[in-house]
Amino acid sequence: MSERPYVIDTMISAKAIAARIEELSKEITAEYSDTDKLVVVGLLRGSFVFIADLVRELDLPIEVDFLEASSYGDSTESSREVRILKDLRGAIEGRDVLVVEDIVDTGHTLKHVTHLLNSRKPKRLNTIALLDKPSRREVNIRADWIGFEIPDEFVVGYGIDFAQRNRNLPYIGKVRFLADAE
Ligand code: IMP
Ligand code: MG
């Protein structure tokens, strides 16, 4: 990737994220109040911080599993192809499942993953995304719960990367490239 210099402007503070997760967790806890055990599926790698905070607010018996799908190279452009790089460890047939995604952008990843997991006949499958960029959508899909709708900006932090960097920022920031010195 290019080494073009950039700065990160705060878009959503750590405090605002925590407050929103508290609200969403109440809704999810109510939705699954009758579950014997909810399988919370994190999509690697971008959702790892979100899922960690989310599950600690859920007042439900849960399991955690992970799935890795690739739709991105180390760039800011999404590709249409979605491949499963790492599948779930556990079976989900007849189970309650919540898929946790960092961002829904074009929608290809979430569409592919929900289609795949639904083919395994879960009892109930819902989706949550921390961020949604509706203006970028190429396929008709929406997460059942959304943390924040954001404009078409490239964001980092709170688990989300730019070429594997900036995942450890505690807030969501937007990448702003500095003008080329040419
Ligand atoms: P989609 O398949 O286009 O919806 O892409 C979803 C994936 O692209 C997300 O899970 C992210 O990993 C990645 N992505 C989309 N927008 C951004 C962004 O602004 N920053 C970093 N990664 C992003
Ligand atoms: Mg992702």
Cβ–ligand 1 distance for 41 under 6 Å, the answer: no
108 CB near ligand 1 (under 6 Å):
yes
* Residue 57 covered by a domain: yes
Closest CA to 58 of 101, 29, 95, 96: 29
Whether 50 is in a domain gets the answer: yes
Decide if 5 is inside a domain. no
154 assigned to some structural domain: yes
Q: Per-residue confidence at 3, pLDDT binned at 50, 70, 90? A: confident
Q: Does any domain span residue 89?
A: yes
Q: State the residue range of the domain holding 72.
A: 11-176
Q: Could you read off the pLDDT of 51-73 as tens digits, one per residue?
A: 999 999 999 999 999 999 987 55
Give the total number of structural domains in the chain. 1
Residue with CA closest to ligand 1 atom 19: 154
Whether 1 is in a domain gets the answer: no
Asked if 173 and 155 touch (Cβ cutoff 8 Å), the reply is: yes
The reply to whether 3 falls in a domain is no
Nearest ligand 1 atom, CA 155: 19
The predicted-structure confidence for 136-168, as pLDDT tens digits, reads as follows: 999 999 999 999 999 999 999 999 999 999 999
Active-site residue, selected from the candidate residues 34, 65, 102, 105: 105
Asked if residue 6 is part of any domain, the answer here is no
> Is residue 71 lining ligand 1, measured as CB closer than 6 Å?
yes
Q: Distance (Å, rounded) from C-alpha 27 to C-alpha 63? A: 18
If we measure between CA atoms, which residue out of 59, 34, 163, 146 comes closest to residue 99? 146
Of 41-50, 63-72, 170-179, the poorest mean pLDDT is in 63-72
pLDDT at residue 81, as a whole number: 77
Which CATH number does the domain housing residue 169 bear? 3.40.50.2020
15-24 contacts, C-beta under 8 A, 24 or more apart = 17/53, 17/130, 17/147, 17/158, 17/171, 17/172, 18/53, 20/147, 20/148, 21/50, 21/53, 21/54, 21/57, 21/147, 22/57, 24/54, 24/128, 24/145, 24/147
Phi, psi for 44 (deg, rounded to 5)? -75, 150
Percentage of the chain modeled with pLDDT above 90 = 88
pLDDT digits (tens, 9 = 90+) for 68-121: 998 755 445 555 778 999 999 999 999 999 999 999 999 999 999 999 999 999
> What's the pLDDT at 70?
86
| pTM of the entire predicted model | 0.94
Structure confidence at residue 181 (pLDDT): 56
